[in-house]
Structure 1
Amino acid sequence: MKVLVLGATGYAGFHVARALRQEGHTVLGLTRDAAGTRAQELVVEEIHPVEGRLSDPDSYRTALEEADAVVCAALDMDDPLGSDRKLFQTLREAEQHTGRSRHLVFTTGITFLTTTREVWDETTPPAPDNPLYVRAQAEQDLAASGMPHTIVRPSFIYGGSARSSKSAQWFTDARNGHSAFYGDVTKRYSWVHVDDLAAAYVAILERPEVADGNIFMFGDEHQPKLLSVQQACLRVAGYTGDITFQSAQSGGMLESCADRDELVTSEKAQKLLGWSPRHPGILEDTLTYYAAWDRARPAG
């Protein structure tokens, strides 16, 4: 199978692209700079860089028409819903032009959901007043399109290079000599290792007929307090200072939106896809995750 991965140089997207290649698929990876360092890392992993942007469908149209399936692990922060809709339209046009459809694995998240339940599953409704509600709107547009698709909602990601993860922020805090915790000190999150998440995409594309039209939540069974995770990350990074406690609002929009328990069950993914997390959890091997982040940092 030939798979186009949008966001292949991002945190999750890179691991997804690599996992698909390791399963023997031909993988095309969208990147803003095909000559850049991150794109060259794709080449090392036998992934073919395609220079372009999610906001510019013409830049990836040819690659999409060549592909049998598409993974979207990218988010256009300038126009998230607009770029997602352009992607959906481009898929429809490709189907009309080539006479065949492509299964889209579309990535959103969990922070736009409501707090109506203690543990969230795929039926937990979105919150219309949430600033991230545009992700729910994209899901709704995709479901209404009738195109073959699967929606992936990861919990908080950790492991590997860490890149855009919360753990990377705390490792960086330790280097900088100060760290803050935002909001409710009792809140708990679900987490998923980036390689376990990548395995989920592989499982979906191995059985697209089972996954078609479904939403899946991905997280492990551990539900640690966020403060405990932050403390562990700081400790293994050598931080001996204090943590300052600030309001969620002072941390910005994302901290405000996630200032609550964000716990998921992956029972549906386990049942339909045979997926289960294989890593021991972010608190069980934090030193290893710190070492991986440290080694992945650019020189200088």
Structure 2
Amino acid sequence: MVKVLVLGATGYIGFPLCQSLRRDGHMVYGLARSADKARGLARHEIRTVVGTVEGGEYLDIVRKANIDIVVDASSANQGSYHVLEGLKAVSQQRLKTRGRHGPKLGFIYLGGSWVHGSSTAPVNDLSPVAVANDAGCPTQPPELVAWRPALEGAILDAREVLESVVVRPALLYGGSSSLWSLWSLWLSPIAKAASEGSSSGVHILADAAAQPGLIHVDDVVSAIHLTVGKFGSVSTASGNYPVFDIVSSSEPLKLILDAAAPTLRLEGSLTYDGPGDNAFAVAMNTTMRGSSTRARDLLGWAPKHTSMAEGIEAYVDAWNAHQ
């Protein structure tokens, strides 16, 4: 049994992760923003902490419950720097109490594969990523996540006091949560035009040539669960490079959206206007030919959902049911 605290425990990835870990017999704690959300977690045997990532209330439970691993699934963006500093302080105190050879606190940071930027060349978790517009890197991350490589570096540099792993999912889809709203950038205007009975074309902020790396939310949960189970052999203390890209496919965006349109009962056609200067749209249109070979070899991970395009009707219906 491992004691795990999940930040973002009620979220798109955090909640199914808590359920998965609990089913496997782990002691799971979850951070919730309100008493009502906390009760929702408690119904699933998840011990709760009411507070926010910014407030740092969860640090008390890390100390008092002797948490083994903290998973940051909070999507706090640069707020995760505060998480890192708080956990380093807790782990440093733990080492002072137990001695420098005692177990360090574990940390799993959930980042994203957009750090690779957009490229048709193959990439994996060993490929260099640009920090502060490093001109020597072959690709640059989109502006939306340009800060993330530096955060990853800070996490890995904390190995003297904190054992860490960075997990980078590709563009997420699927599941039962309304929070896979990333795809609303494209699906919402299609659904709106369909509901209005429009037979004219729909303009969307998409690049017809884009081919994003994709991953189903359940497969990300599986990868993080396996990381918890094999943490000692894959973290910064293991000698392996503790960064894992989690991607199951790279598929043409046009193929996916052209198939989604009739599922949403759109009679007209789609016009691909490209992302323009919309920073979010630029990131969503990132092309990635990714590989998760190391996750397969070191974690024993394998995706169960290997194509979004093939199951598009079910995925779009799930998205639409939560709008």
Which band: TM-score by shorter chain? Answer: 0.7 to 0.9
**In 1, are the aligned partners of 2:165 and 2:243 still within 8 Å (CA)?**
yes
**In 2, are the aligned partners of 1:180 and 1:245 still within 8 Å (CA)?**
yes
1:279 Cα offset (Å): 1.8
TM-score computed with the length of structure 1 as normaliser: 0.87
Q: Does 1:64 align with 2:62?
A: yes
**In 1, are the aligned partners of 2:171 and 2:213 still within 8 Å (CA)?**
yes
* Change in 2 beyond 3 A, CA 1:245/1:16: same
Q: Which amino acid aligns with 2:43?
A: V
* Change in 2 beyond 3 A, CA 1:136/1:29: same
| Alpha-carbon distance between aligned partners in 2 of 1:168 and 1:110, rounded to the nearest angstrom | 20
**In 2, are the aligned partners of 1:11 and 1:164 still within 8 Å (CA)?**
yes
Deviates more, 1:134-143 or 1:14-23: 14-23
Q: Secondary structure at the match of 1:5?
A: strand
The Cα offsets for residues 130-150 of structure 1, whole Å up to 9 and x where unpaired, read as 422211111100111112111
**Residue aligning to 2:239:** none
**In 1, are the aligned partners of 2:125 and 2:245 still within 8 Å (CA)?**
yes
**In 2, are the aligned partners of 1:2 and 1:25 still within 8 Å (CA)?**
yes
Which residue of the other structure, out of 218, 235, 258, is the alignment partner of 1:231?
Answer: 258
Q: Which amino acid aligns with 2:20?
A: A
| Alpha-carbon distance between aligned partners in 1 of 2:306 and 2:275, rounded to the nearest angstrom | 29
- Structure 1 portions without partners, runs of 5+: none
| Alpha-carbon distance between aligned partners in 2 of 1:288 and 1:258, rounded to the nearest angstrom | 21
> Which protein shows a greater Rg?
2
| Alpha-carbon distance between aligned partners in 2 of 1:244 and 1:289, rounded to the nearest angstrom | 22
1:158 Cα offset (Å): 1.0
Aligned residues: 288
**In 1, are the aligned partners of 2:114 and 2:283 still within 8 Å (CA)?**
yes
Q: Which amino acid aligns with 2:15?
A: F
| Alpha-carbon distance between aligned partners in 1 of 2:263 and 2:153, rounded to the nearest angstrom | 42
1:294 Cα offset (Å): 3.9
1:112 Cα offset (Å): 2.5
1:209 Cα offset (Å): 1.8
1:241 Cα offset (Å): 2.8
**Residue aligning to 1:126:** 129
- Structure 2 portions without partners, runs of 5+: 134-141, 195-201, 237-241
**In 2, are the aligned partners of 1:112 and 1:126 still within 8 Å (CA)?**
yes
| Alpha-carbon distance between aligned partners in 2 of 1:151 and 1:180, rounded to the nearest angstrom | 37
Q: Does 1:219 align with 2:217?
A: no
**In 2, are the aligned partners of 1:174 and 1:237 still within 8 Å (CA)?**
yes
* Change in 2 beyond 3 A, CA 1:245/1:295: closer
**Residue aligning to 1:163:** 179
% same residue: 25
The Cα offsets for residues 221-242 of structure 1, whole Å up to 9 and x where unpaired, read as x321112112222322222233
**Residue aligning to 1:75:** 75
**Residue aligning to 2:230:** 207
Aligned structure 1 segments of 4 or more residues deviating by more than 6 angstroms:
none
1:211-290 superposed matches below 5 A = 211-213=234-236, 214-220=242-248, 222-250=249-277, 252-290=278-316
Aligned-pair Cα RMSD in Å: 2.2
